[in-house]
């Protein structure tokens, strides 16, 4: 009887050890399954775009250059800013969005007022500038398609972005479609309000909501607090200047 009890105890102990090992293995597997695909976003600022792309790829991240700005402090071809911030823990294959420096402004903003919009676009691109927001406003006595204002103005120095927004004369008989609503999503609220004021729109008090991530191309993307996430009317809508624009921003 004593030997049977000892044998039973040894067998039970062995079973418990095996079960414990199986549970430990399962927990370890789950840990690596959950956290094994996570990575800490590195600091890419001041790096060249090529070096930053290489480092990001080596960590399983995807680098997207989504903006380019002039900078007197950061050399051309180097990273000005990034999102998410360094130290943020994200999944592998996450898209890290960066802004690339164009170096100090070296081009002079040409005067496009009075030009046909197509000619103005060619003139801007010829000197290395992009065409920014284009809005249309019916103006009596001015030919449709003529540039009647631009921002920044001709000869401006110290501009941030290599783009020029144009206000273009629309058909004078088109009284119900005076302006085109610009895209404001992604801009800080203050910048969006300034853009609306410049185009002659009214804006009500912004609405702030809790937003931790936005879905973009099937992947979660962080949203900076204070940035616009929704707008009404939608970008591209033809609207009258009397409408009031509603902005929704992240807390």
Alpha carbon distance 56, 186 (integer Å): 23
Mean pLDDT for the stretch of residues 158-184: 79
Which uninterrupted H or E stretch holds 9?
helix 2-35
* Inter-residue contact 137 to 104 (CB < 8 Å): no
**What is the per-residue pLDDT across 190-218, written as a single tens digit (0 to 9) for each?**
889 988 888 788 899 999 898 764 444 44
Q: Which residues contact 245 (CB under 8 A, 6 or more apart)?
A: 181, 184, 196, 201, 202, 203, 204, 231, 232, 233
Q: What is the pLDDT of residues 101-143, one digit of tens each?
A: 999 998 999 999 999 999 999 999 999 999 998 998 888 788 8
H helical segments located in 177-248? 189-198
Comparing 28-42, 110-124, 232-246, which segment has the lowest mean pLDDT? 28-42
Position 16 scores a pLDDT of 72
């Amino acid at each position: 009887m004593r030997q049977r009890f000892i044998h039973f105890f040894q067998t039970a102990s062995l079973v418990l050890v095996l079960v414990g090992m199986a549970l430990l293995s399962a927990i370890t597997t789950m840990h690596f399954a959950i956290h094994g695909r996570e990575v800490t976003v590195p600091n890419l600022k001041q790096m060249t775009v090529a070096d930053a792309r290489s480092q990001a790829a080596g960590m399983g991240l995807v680098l997207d250059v989504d903006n380019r700005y002039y900078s007197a402090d950061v050399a051309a071809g180097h990273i000005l800013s990034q999102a998410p911030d360094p130290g943020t823990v994200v999944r592998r294959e996450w898209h890290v969005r960066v802004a690339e420096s164009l170096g100090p402004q070296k081009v002079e903003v040409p005067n496009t007022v009075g030009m046909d919009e197509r000619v103005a676009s060619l003139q801007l691109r010829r000197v290395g500038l992009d065409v920014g927001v284009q809005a249309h406003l019916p103006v009596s006595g001015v030919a449709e398609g003529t540039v009647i204002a631009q921002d920044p103005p001709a000869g401006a120095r110290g501009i941030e972005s290599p783009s020029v927004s144009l206000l273009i004369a629309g058909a004078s008989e088109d009284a119900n479609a005076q302006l085109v609503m610009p895209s404001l999503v992604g801009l800080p609220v203050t910048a969006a309000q300034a853009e609306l004021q410049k185009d002659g729109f009214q804006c009500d008090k912004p609405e702030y909501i809790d937003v931790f991530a936005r879905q973009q191309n099937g992947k979660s993307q962080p949203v900076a607090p204070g940035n616009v996430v929704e707008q009404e009317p939608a970008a591209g809508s033809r609207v009258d200047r009397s409408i009031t624009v509603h902005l929704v921003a992240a807390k």
